[in-house]
Structure 1
Amino acid sequence: MTPIYSTSRLIPHLPELLLSLAAFLFLILDHRRRRRSFDLTTLNFPLIGALPHLFVHAGRLHDWITDVLRSGGYSVVLLPPSFAAYDILLTCDPANVRHVFTSHFANYSKGPDFADLFDILGGGIFSADSDSWKFQRRKAHGLVADLSFRTFVGGATREKLDHGLLPMLRSRAAAETAFDLQDIFLRFTFDTTCRFVFGVDPGCLAEGLPDVAFARALDHVEEALFYRHVLPLSWWKLMRLLRVGTEKRMAQATKVIDGFIADCITKGVQGAAKVDVENGEMGSDLLTSYLGTCDEIASQGVDFTKFLRDTTFNLLIAGRDTTSSALTWFFYLLSCHPSVESRILSELSLHADPSRLVYLHAALCESLRLFPPLPFEHKAAVHPDVLPSGHPVHPRRRILFSLYSMGRMEGIWGKDCAEFRPERWLSDSGKPQYVPSYKFFSFNSGPRTCLGKDIAFQQMKAVVAAIIARFRVESITEQSEVRPKISIFLRMKDGFMVRVTERENPVLGW
């Protein structure tokens, strides 16, 4: 039966809604006059808080937040409408990051609000807390750190490069056609991540670039999750109840995603059984590895089928969306800085060992500093506390860390913080320069530091080296048109349109 929501329940909030509309119209007329500084006295309106700003600046939310934090000394409280359940402490202060993620880690969880916000993740590692998180972390660490899995990742990446990505780029170069490189990277990382996780290649880079229902479904999910951050809790929950707007698309997308994962798990289980029978040993993908520990997982009182669904989905979106985002922004920055590309080419011609590509590693770190694939991190305090910034926190205050803003603060990175300068990651002798994770936050910090960090760099270096050694990538997207999409991941709004040409003298060995 379709739920009915009485309009009479909206009447108590009518003044807030009218004030919100008035403030919204005012901001539309006024926001063009705002520059890099921000007047904090107009940040939070009576009764409706900062909600009008979030609506008006949704299209440039990350840069607006950066302006606010720059004016507010790295930490600012965003008040919600009076009927909302919590307020938000917005921060990019490295001292706060260190306090929350490392020195006082036990007092800060994802919290029940996070689990509700990201309900599609289920009980996976990214939303889990306490004992569930510890167990999942321990299991994932053992699997990801295994040498056979890392070898498998390298081989699967190379195979997809040689038989998928590079042939596709050659055909585009021969045809002299423009194409969306962001879409290509999403397809590439989707194929490879499915191999890593399920042992299955969905063939998204096949001839003709087939439509991928799962990818479209994830786009709808990520858009809905973004709006859940902007709208008051009661609003998006009502939308979810009534199945309207982004929440309707979210529900439809969830069915597609669950169906795809169930199909991949079935194929993966069948493939694992075949490998076991024919070779007397298990495969190296993560699903196969988890199948080998089903008794241990079941002993934790966990539904094994649900565990596989939640775990594989969490790993799938981590590998697909973060790496593709990082590669897209990297090649965009490279197209704007040909001198960096030249230095990477020189390094490739000197070294055939990826571990010796120090400058390429520095350039990737610099790109991640400016364009972190996950621009926000969430935390909630279990018990009341006071952060190093002097701001009190409590269970009804959500803490939102802006990684995007952190990379653009002079007090953290210097006066050239807005510049793409890989040299900041190197010492005077050309060796890697250590930067603490509470300052370079792209792979999280403390006990929740990303387990796949080394694998991510391994794959990114392989992709960048293979492309740059063979092709010149020319952006045909105007810099003024480059902006993040409305999504929880930092993707380009209208894609990254490029042309590629083959190098007359490719760098051999890559």
Structure 2
Amino acid sequence: MSIKNLLLVFIGRGENRTQDQFYSQAREHMPPANKIIDVFTIGDIVLAILLFVAIHYWRLNRNTSMTKWPVLGMLPAYIHNISNIHNYLTLILKQNGGTFIFEGPWLTNLGTVFTCDPMNVQHITSTKFANYGKGNHFREIFEILGEGIFRSDSHIWKYNRTLLHSIFKQESFRAFIQKTVEEKVCNGLFMFLDNACKEGIQVDLQDVFQRLTFDNICSIVLGYDPSCLSIDLPIIKCERAFTQSENTLFYRHVKPKFLWKLQNWFQVGQEKEFVENNKILDEMLYSQIKSKRDTQGQKKFDLLNTIMNVVGDEKNPIDDKFLIDDKFLRDTSINLLAAGRDTISSCLSWFFWLVATHPLVEAKILEEIKENLPSREHNWKDLGTKGLGKLIYLHGALCEALRLYPPIPFEHKCALESDVLPSGHRIKSNATVMYSLYAIGRVEEIWGKDCLEFKPERWISQKGGIIHVPSYKFIAFNAGPRSCLGKDISFIEMKIVAAAILSNYHIQVVKDHPIIPSISVVLHMKHGLKVNVKKRSI
């Protein structure tokens, strides 16, 4: 009997056969017991057993959303859909009522509770905030962040947040950020786009925004402009190292921990590049910190100098347990670089793609900008802080981009103690819980049947103001005590860039250019955003 005939018995057309009929047909094809070894090779028998087990599990799970295999768990389905992972997880979550438990291979660290249930998110981020920290798994993956605000828990996190909040709330600091961004737009972004218009060349707007925001955040935090955004698009080592490090961080999520740890130990593959990129970033950061120490008397206004001028070399008056040394400044800097570069560049990329493909939205934004300029002869810079605050429709369009394409597509926590989510799912101590920001923006119960549509109007009240949506539903800036300190600052920068570009240029996406999310810890576009740029006057 051939393997082919045996398979026909296992998976033949009669899927509704009774068990007795199944075994009856099997016996008809089977030779006498004492002849089996003569008919089959050992390889045939092993293959048949494996196929039988595979088909058995497929039949048991074919009506469920994600098949669980022996030994491998649910990993095969995850890997099979990795190129479309965000939409796939959104579908799985919808099929499972907003929460499901992903079971990884045996003896790995990939078992995770996924959720997009807003009540679960509120529970994790606010109600039981003290029970859900970053955890050891997160800390191991994101070791590059040191003891900065995004990687720390408990008293270290509180100290970081208190210190940064005291700076971010200062009007002088916000004014400094606005001035820095406006200068870079005029002296960097406009020069590049004007040249693109003149030469008639296609532009990868995502790359432009990554360069722009890296220059901006380095200027704001370090007082140092690496000049990534210029006409010739130079390769800047520290900017490239920053980008490449992100890719490694994502694959640390999906690889078994022992594997990437082994690669790191032997310095091979992505882990070798990761270590090299970390060295490049550390060299840049410590060089800037040393420069600050040497020239501290000049009192140049940037975030590092602000911290150093507040506390000097003494123990910080906010909490005398901490010393502001070079390591602390390095960790603070790299966390803020991560917060102020990729999150804003990601949002701007998706925003301009959405606006470029929705001309009515673009027209409304342009009309709003005109109405809020002091006179029609003035340009976008005359909007000022008050004018930017009046751009309600633009604000709604940015919120829509953040809802549909949140820069950080998923967030993970670790339960310190066992717990029960509002959905009824039990969480063991030390279990990983991940909430999908991408999926939350597509929950019909929150956003309605048209949740996949780009509609800035959903954010605007009948009186013309911005509708407030609770942070555990609109979670692009996180929720609870860990909500983003730089939310208002981020909107200022995004509005400046959006108003400046739309007022001066018409952006047209290159025909048939594929737009799909990348597989990364930040929701970039896999193939960039290729556009044609034309000058226009408002």
* Category of TM-score, reference length = shorter chain: 0.7 to 0.9
1:303/1:268 CA distance change after superposition, 3 Å: closer
Worse-matched range after superposition: 425-434 or 176-185: 425-434
For the residues of structure 1 that align with 2:370 and 2:165, how far apart are their CA atoms? 35
8 Å CA contact retained: 2:286, 2:326: no
For residue 494 of structure 2, what is the amino acid of its counterpart? M
Structure 1, 106-115 or 229-238: larger mean CA deviation: 229-238
Indicate conservation of the 8 Å contact 1:40/1:68, yes or no: no
Compared CA separation, residues 464 and 39, structure 1 to 2 (3 A): farther
1:178-199 per-residue CA deviation (whole Å, 9 max, x = no partner) reads 0111111011101110111011
CA separation in 2, counterparts of 1:409 and 1:379? 21
Residue by residue, what CA displacement relative to the aligned partner does 1:262-303 show, whole Å, maximum 9, x if unpaired? 222233444543x2xxxxxx3331100111214234942446
What residue in structure 1 maps to residue 29 of structure 2? none
Provide the residue aligned with 2:347 in structure 1: 326
1:95 equivalent in structure 2: 119
Matched, 1:300 2:321: yes
The corresponding residue for 2:525 is 492
Matching of residue 215 in structure 1 with residue 239 in structure 2: yes
The residue matched to 1:365 in structure 2 has which SS?
helix
Report what 1:249 is aligned to. Answer: 273
Asked if structure 1 preserves the Cα contact closer than 8 Å seen for 2:250 and 2:519, the reply is yes
SS at match of 2:107: coil
Bigger shift: residues 130-139 or 78-87 = 78-87
**Match of residue 457, structure 1, among 469, 488, 491:** 491
Task: Call closer, same or farther: CA 1:235–1:289 in 2, change over 3 Å.
Answer: same
The answer as to whether partners of 2:505 and 2:533 remain within 8 angstroms in 1 is: yes
| Structure of higher CA gyration radius | 2
Q: CA contact under 8 A between 1:380 and 1:398: conserved in structure 2?
A: yes
> How much does 1:206 deviate?
2.7
Question: Which amino acid is the alignment partner of residue 335 of structure 1?
Answer: A
Aligned counterpart in structure 2 of residue 84 of structure 1, from 92, 105, 108: 108
| Letter in structure 2 aligned against 1:386 | V
Equivalent AA in structure 1 for residue 528 of structure 2: G
Is this contact kept in 1: 2:289–2:326, CA < 8 A?
no
Letter of the aligned partner of 2:306 in structure 1? S
Whether the aligned pair in 2 keeps the contact of 1:77 and 1:88 (CA below 8 Å) is: yes
| Cα distance in 2 between the residues matched to 1:495 and 1:41 | 31
Q: Secondary structure at the match of 2:315?
A: helix
Amino acid at match of 1:391: H
The residue identity in structure 2 corresponding to 1:494 is: H
Q: Secondary structure at the match of 1:311?
A: helix
1:400 aligned partner:
434
- The answer to whether 1:115 aligns with 2:162 is no
Q: 1:111 to 1:469 in 2, by over 3 A?
A: same
1:40–1:240 Cα change, 3 Å: farther
**Aligned equivalent of 1:233:** 257
1:378 paired residue among 408, 412, 431: 412
Residue in structure 2 matching 1:436, options 444, 448, 470? 470
Question: Are residues 1:54 and 2:88 paired?
Answer: no
Determine the structure 2 residue equivalent to 1:131. 155
SS of residue matched to 1:171: helix
Structure 1 residues 31-88: Cα deviation after superposition (integer angstroms, max 9, x where no partner) = xxxxxxx953543222211211222222111111111111111111000111124620
Tell me: CA distance 1:477–1:291, structure 2 relative to 1, closer, same or farther (3 Å).
farther
Instruction: Describe the shift of the 1:86–1:42 C-alpha distance in structure 2 as closer, same or farther (beyond 3 A).
Output: closer
- The 5 Å alignment of 1:160-239 reads 160-239=184-263
Give yes or no for contact 2:209–2:345 (8 Å, CA) kept in 1: yes
Which shows bigger deviation, 39-48 or 358-367?
Answer: 39-48
Q: For residue 99 of structure 2, what is the amino acid of its counterpart? A: S
Asked if 1 retains the 8 angstrom alpha-carbon contact of 2:65 and 2:92, the reply is no
- Cα distance per residue 1:393-431 (max 9 Å; x no partner): 122310011101111222221110110011111112322
* CA distance in structure 1 between the partners assigned to 2:499 and 2:295 by the alignment: 32
DSSP 3-state at the match of 2:435: strand
**Contact 2:406 / 2:523 at 8 angstroms: preserved in 1?**
yes
Q: Residue 66 of structure 2 contacts residue 77 of structure 2 at CA under 8 Å; is this kept in 1?
A: no
Match of 1:65 in 2: 89
Q: Partner of 1:310 in structure 2?
A: 331
Please give the TM-score of this superposition, normalised by the length of structure 1: 0.88
Q: Give the one of 296, 300, 311 matched to 1:283.
A: 300
CA contact (8 A) 2:222 2:302 kept: yes
Q: CA deviation at 1:152?
A: 0.4
* CA distance in 2: counterparts of 1:40 and 1:118, whole angstroms: 34
User: Residues 323 and 303 (structure 1 numbering): CA distance in 2 closer, same or farther, change over 3 Å?
Assistant: same
Task: Tell me, in whole angstroms, the C-alpha distance in 2 between the residues paired with 1:41 and 1:489.
Answer: 26
Residues 353-408 of structure 1, C-alpha deviations (whole Å, 9 max, x = no match): 11100000000000000000010111111111100111111223100111011112
- Which 10-residue stretch deviates more, 306-315 or 225-234? 225-234
1:98-129 residue CA offsets vs partner (Å, 9 max, x unmatched): 11111111111111211111111111100110
Question: Alignment partner for residue 359 of structure 2, among 316, 338, 357?
Answer: 338
Q: Is the 8 A contact 1:220 1:246 kept in 2?
A: no
What is aligned with 2:381? none
CA RMSD of aligned residues (A): 2.1
Deviation at 1:252, TM superposition (A): 1.4
State the one-letter code of the partner of 1:446: G
Judged with a 3 Å threshold, the aligned counterparts in structure 2 of structure 1 residues 402 and 199 are, in CA distance, closer, same or farther, namely same
SS state at 2:100 partner: strand
Distance, in Å, in 2 between the alignment partners of 1:43 and 1:146 is 53
Pick one of 156, 167, 170 that aligns with 1:143. 167
Q: Does 1:349 align with 2:370?
A: yes
Structure 2 residue 510 is matched with structure 1 residue 471: no
Amino acid of the structure 2 residue aligned with 1:306:
K
Tell me what 1:409 maps to.
443
Distance 1:85 1:486 in 2: 20
Q: CA deviation at 1:148?
A: 1.1
Letter in 2 for 1:319: G
Question: Structure 1's 423 and 39: CA in aligned 2 closer, same or farther, altered over 3 A?
Answer: farther
TM-score, normalising length from structure 2?
0.83
Specify the alignment match of 2:40 in structure 1: none
**Aligned residue number for residue 33 of structure 1:** none
Q: Distance in 1 between matches of 2:534 and 2:167?
A: 40
Q: Which residue identity lines up with residue 431 of structure 1 in the other structure?
A: G
With over 3 angstroms needed to count, the CA separation of the structure-2 counterparts of 1:361 and 1:41, relative to structure 1, is: closer
Fraction of identical pairs, as percent: 42
Offset at 1:340? Answer: 0.3
How many Å separate the matches in 1 of 2:511 and 2:291? 40
Given that residues 200 and 268 in structure 1 are in contact (C-alpha distance below 8 angstroms), is that contact kept between their aligned partners in structure 2? no
Render the CA deviation track for 1:140-180: whole Å, top value 9, x for unaligned: 00011111111100110111111110121111111111011
Instruction: Kindly indicate whether residue 467 of structure 2 is the aligned counterpart of residue 448 of structure 1.
Output: no
Answer yes or no: is the 8 Å Cα contact 1:472–1:502 preserved in 2.
Answer: yes
Unaligned runs of 5+ in 2: 1-45, 374-386
Q: Give the unaligned 5+ runs of structure 1.
A: 1-17, 31-37, 276-281
Secondary structure of 1:472's aligned partner = strand
CA distance in 2, matches of 1:125, 1:291: 17
